[in-house]
């Protein structure tokens, strides 16, 4: 461990391990297997990178995405670590050169995709290389129930038998208790120690709003709070991605699109621009994001509800990896519930799969509709107790709860009466029109203006009725017939509710606060990462911006994302301390020996530029 701490300081520039890192490192150095669950930004990579540099041999890292491994290898090379990757982007000669280097013992870490690892050529290569350890990143991909399932992960189990005595570590930021056991079983980890850190990301503010006009709501959110900052917007469909990206660009927000329907070159180019340029917004399907290592993403927005809390947690976890304040914002409506339940019903999976998927969707619905602290509900799902956080929408502006018993009875009765009178079911808009007493062509065509329920809900607006309807569906008191034009149907629970005397409390709908627009360049600059919410004096902010400009120039010269040079947190600390010597610079966390040698003189010169000139 003394050697591990020396490597941590000399190579990575950190004065000590955080949280569970030391215990994990000690376990690997002793040759034991580990399952590590840590939230994004908690330093999972150090858990295997440090032992790989301490133990003799090559550290093998199984990584699911090309972009992720390239990012990590670039960052390690900046630290002076002998790292490389093997993937499909390389020419045969380049790959052969890396294989020769591995055989000669000239690499410390080798990143390989699971598909590449499972080839006979790659396995034969590893047979010739003494291995320090095997790290399996994004290990939740082994779960057949998860949204990131990769069948190749199930074929990694024999690694333990092929390379006996080599410690293995499986890492993920997303795994409920069931998925944890799937990882252990699916990877055949023996005598494994489980290291489970808190799932809490206290720097992320969670907010979920009722869906009205999602594009307009997104624009208001970015205008008011996230102008000029990097973010990811997730949409359910490719068309929604294209439409939303176009709408953002028309409003002066620099946005890019990413989905599987784009050609590989466009996807790669847009991803590279997002990683390397400040303030870009990526609008994408869930095809984008796993393993994205950009630390200064200030917000993740969902225009459509994810299918599970695991997916939601993983996607929102891409915000605020640097520990600075970030937001997870989502719009949610009845159509999301209908769409997700239809996908489950139409799934080719067996009955067990559909049952588990439905339970996970129900948990996501409960998170969306809760009137309590969202963070408490989120952490409870992962088996972690918590107290109200004070940093989610429900804590900051507690929603009203109102007795919706009469409203629910009216709505359910209306659904029943309309079907009884006409012999067919009707959709949400028509039922709401009957409740509100709207005498239109459609209600007259079916004679529904004569129903006893016509106009009995006129005291509530359409927005409120939509909320009531959505919550009844979420609570199982109402169902949507996917096979019959999305018509509404009563359930066994709704019939029991109508016959009984139980009270039903519903979440009140409140308008989302909209702040002043900030589309000007001055407004954008004021809300850039590192400026908003900080109490630093103007001279510190000026030095910070100077450092960011310098970093951008160096990143372009070296062809790497700016955060590979230095994270914002490191630059901010340099700006605050304004070091004048190499020793002072080396005392800042995140500046190891290699970075000090590469950039130390330039940083010191930049920090001394604003020193007052000597008197004449």
Is residue 74 scored above 60 in pLDDT? Answer: yes
* pLDDT tens, residue by residue, 516-549: 333 333 333 333 333 343 468 898 999 999 999 9
The C-alpha atoms of residue 33 and residue 24 are separated, in whole angstroms, by 9
Tell me what percent of the residues of the chain surpass a pLDDT of 70.
93
Nearest to 565 by CA among 553, 574, 576, 577: 553
Is residue 505 scored above 80 in pLDDT? Answer: yes
Residue 102 in contact with residue 131, Cβ under 8 Å? no
Is residue 514 scored above 60 in pLDDT? Answer: no
Residues 182 and 324 in one domain: no
- Residue 528, in any domain of the structure: no
* pLDDT tens, residue by residue, 573-600: 999 999 999 999 999 999 999 999 999 9
Residues 339 and 418 in one domain: no
Residue 356 confidence (pLDDT) = 83
Residues 110 and 74 in one domain: yes
pLDDT-based confidence at 614, cuts 50/70/90?
very low
Residue 344 confidence (pLDDT) = 83
Residues 32 and 69 in one domain: yes
The C-alpha atoms of residue 49 and residue 137 are separated, in whole angstroms, by 12
User: In sequence order, what DSSP letters do the residues of 302-321 get, joined into one string?
Assistant: ESS--SSHHHHHHHHTTS-T
pLDDT-based confidence at 89, cuts 50/70/90?
confident
* pLDDT tens, residue by residue, 4-35: 999 999 999 999 999 999 999 999 999 999 99
* Domain end among 366, 399, 432: 399
Residue 482 confidence (pLDDT) = 66
- Residue 367, in any domain of the structure: yes
Across the range 320-341, mean pLDDT stands at: 88
Residues 150 and 217 in one domain: no
* Domain end among 472, 507, 542: 507
Is residue 512 scored above 60 in pLDDT? Answer: no
Residue 301: burial class (beta carbons within 10 Å; 0-12, 13-18, 19+): buried
- Residue 512, in any domain of the structure: no
Residues 377 and 440 in one domain: no
Is residue 480 scored above 60 in pLDDT? Answer: yes
pLDDT-based confidence at 90, cuts 50/70/90?
confident
pLDDT-based confidence at 473, cuts 50/70/90?
confident
* pLDDT tens, residue by residue, 542-577: 999 999 999 999 998 988 888 889 988 899 999 999
Across the range 472-488, mean pLDDT stands at: 81
- Residue 341, in any domain of the structure: yes
Residue 234 in contact with residue 286, Cβ under 8 Å? yes
Residue 522 confidence (pLDDT) = 32
Q: What is the CATH number of the domain that holds 488?
A: 1.10.10.10
Dihedral over Cα of 66, 228, 283, 466: its sign? positive
Residue 205 confidence (pLDDT) = 97
Residues 52 and 176 in one domain: yes
The C-alpha atoms of residue 171 and residue 175 are separated, in whole angstroms, by 10
The C-alpha atoms of residue 138 and residue 149 are separated, in whole angstroms, by 10
Is residue 351 scored above 90 in pLDDT? Answer: no
Q: What is the CATH number of the domain that holds 141?
A: 3.40.50.300
Mean residue pLDDT across the chain = 88
Q: Which CA distances in Å does 122 have to 117, 166, 436?
A: 5, 17, 67
* pLDDT tens, residue by residue, 160-212: 999 999 999 999 987 888 889 999 999 999 889 999 998 899 999 999 998 88
* pLDDT tens, residue by residue, 107-166: 999 999 999 999 999 999 999 999 999 999 999 889 876 667 788 998 999 999 999 999
* pLDDT tens, residue by residue, 410-448: 999 999 999 999 999 998 999 999 999 998 999 999 999
User: pTM score, two decimals?
Assistant: 0.78
- Residue 614, in any domain of the structure: no
> Count of domains in the chain?
4
Is residue 511 scored above 80 in pLDDT? Answer: no
Residues 236 and 375 in one domain: yes
**Element containing residue 490 per DSSP (H, E):** strand 487-490
The C-alpha atoms of residue 24 and residue 476 are separated, in whole angstroms, by 44
User: In sequence order, what DSSP letters do the residues of 141-186 get, joined into one string?
Assistant: GG-TTSTT--GGGGGGTTHHHHSTT--EEEEES---HHHHHHHHHH
Across the range 233-261, mean pLDDT stands at: 95
At CA 172, angle to CA 171 and CA 174, rounded to 5?
160
Q: What are the backbone dihedrals phi and psi of residue 483, each rounded to the nearest 5 degrees, phi first? A: -85, -10
- Residue 526, in any domain of the structure: no
Q: What is the CATH number of the domain that holds 593?
A: 1.10.150.80
Residues 467 and 319 in one domain: no
Residues 127 and 219 in one domain: no
Residues 326 and 416 in one domain: no
Residues 406 and 390 in one domain: no
- Residue 326, in any domain of the structure: yes
Residue 296 in contact with residue 322, Cβ under 8 Å? yes
Across the range 257-264, mean pLDDT stands at: 92
Residue 446 confidence (pLDDT) = 93
Residue 449 in tokens: 């203006």
Q: How many Cα atoms are found within 13 Å in the side-chain-facing hemisphere of 529? A: 29
Residue 23 in tokens: 């215990």
* Domain end among 455, 488, 507: 507
- Residue 347, in any domain of the structure: yes
Cβ–Cβ contacts within 10 Å for residue 568, how many?
Answer: 22
The C-alpha atoms of residue 485 and residue 353 are separated, in whole angstroms, by 25
**Placement of tokens 């939303």 in the chain:** 244
Its domain, for residue 465, covers 402-507
For residue 472, the Cα-to-chain-centroid distance in whole angstroms is: 29
């Amino acid at each position: 461990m003394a050697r591990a701490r020396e490597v941590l300081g000399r190579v990575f520039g950190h004065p000590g391990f955080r949280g569970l890192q030391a215990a994990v490192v000690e376990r690997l150095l002793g040759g034991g297997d580990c399952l590590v669950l840590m939230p994004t930004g908690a330093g999972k990579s150090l858990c295997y990178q440090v032992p790989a540099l301490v133990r003799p041999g090559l550290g093998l890292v199984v990584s699911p995405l090309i972009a992720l491994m390239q990012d990590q290898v670039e960052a390690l090379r900046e630290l002076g670590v002998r790292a490389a990757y093997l993937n499909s982007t390389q020419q045969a000669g380049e790959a052969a050169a890396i294989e020769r280097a591995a055989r000669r013992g000239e690499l410390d870490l080798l990143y390989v995709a699971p598909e590449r690892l499972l080839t006979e050529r790659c396995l034969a290569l590893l047979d010739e290389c003494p291995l320090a350890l095997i790290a399996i990143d994004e290990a939740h991909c082994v779960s057949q129930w998860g949204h990131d399932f990769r069948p190749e992960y199930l074929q990694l189990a024999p690694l333990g038998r092929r390379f006996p005595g080599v410690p293995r570590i499986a890492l993920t930021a997303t795994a409920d208790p069931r998925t944890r056991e799937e990882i252990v079983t699916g990877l055949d980890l023996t005598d494994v120690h489980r290291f489970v850190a808190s799932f809490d990301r206290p720097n992320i503010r969670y907010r979920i709003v009722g869906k009205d006009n999602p594009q307009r709501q997104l624009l208001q959110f970015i205008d008011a709070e996230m102008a000029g900052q990097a973010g990811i917007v997730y949409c359910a469909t490719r068309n929604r991605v294209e439409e939303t990206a176009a709408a953002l660009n028309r409003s002066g927000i620099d946005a890019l699109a990413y989905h599987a329907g784009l050609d590989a070159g466009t996807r790669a180019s847009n991803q590279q621009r997002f990683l390397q340029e400040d303030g870009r917004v990526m609008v994408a399907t869930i095809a984008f994001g796993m393993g994205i290592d950009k630390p200064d993403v200030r917000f993740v927005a969902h225009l459509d509800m994810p299918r599970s809390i695991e997916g939601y947690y993983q996607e929102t976890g891409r915000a605020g990896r640097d520990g600075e304040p970030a937001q997870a914002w989502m719009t949610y409506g009845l159509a999301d519930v209908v769409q997700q339940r239809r996908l489950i019903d139409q799934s080719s999976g067996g009955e067990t799969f559909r049952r588990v998927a439905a339970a996970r969707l129900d948990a996501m619905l409960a998170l969306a509709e809760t009137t309590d602290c969202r963070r408490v509900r989120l952490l409870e799902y992962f088996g972690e107790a918590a107290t109200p956080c004070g940093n989610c929408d429900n804590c900051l502006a507690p929603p009203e709860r109102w007795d919706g018993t009469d409203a629910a009875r009216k709505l359910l009765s209306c659904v029943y009466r309309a079907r009884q009178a006409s012999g067919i079911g009707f959709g949400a808009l028509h039922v709401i029109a009957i409740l509100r007493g709207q005498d239109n062509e459609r209600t007259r065509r079916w004679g529904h203006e004569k129903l006893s329920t016509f106009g009995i809900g006129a005291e509530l607006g359409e927005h409120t009725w939509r909320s009531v309807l959505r919550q009844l569906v979420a609570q199982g008191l109402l169902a949507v017939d996917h096979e019959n034009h999305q018509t509404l149907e009563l359930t066994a629970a709704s019939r029991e509710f109508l016959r009984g005397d139980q009270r039903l409390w519903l979440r009140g709908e409140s308008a989302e606060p909209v702040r002043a627009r900030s589309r000007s360049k001055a407004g954008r600059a004021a809300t850039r990462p590192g400026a908003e919410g900080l109490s630093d004096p103007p001279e510190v902010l000026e030095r910070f911006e100077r450092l960011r400009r310098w970093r951008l120039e160096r990143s372009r010269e070296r062809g790497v994302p700016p955060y590979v040079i230095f994270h914002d947190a490191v630059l901010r600390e340099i700006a605050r301390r304004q070091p004048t010597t190499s020793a002072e610079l080396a005392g800042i966390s995140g500046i190891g020996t290699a970075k000090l040698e590469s950039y130390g003189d330039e940083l010191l010169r930049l920090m001394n530029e604003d020193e007052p000139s000597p008197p004449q």
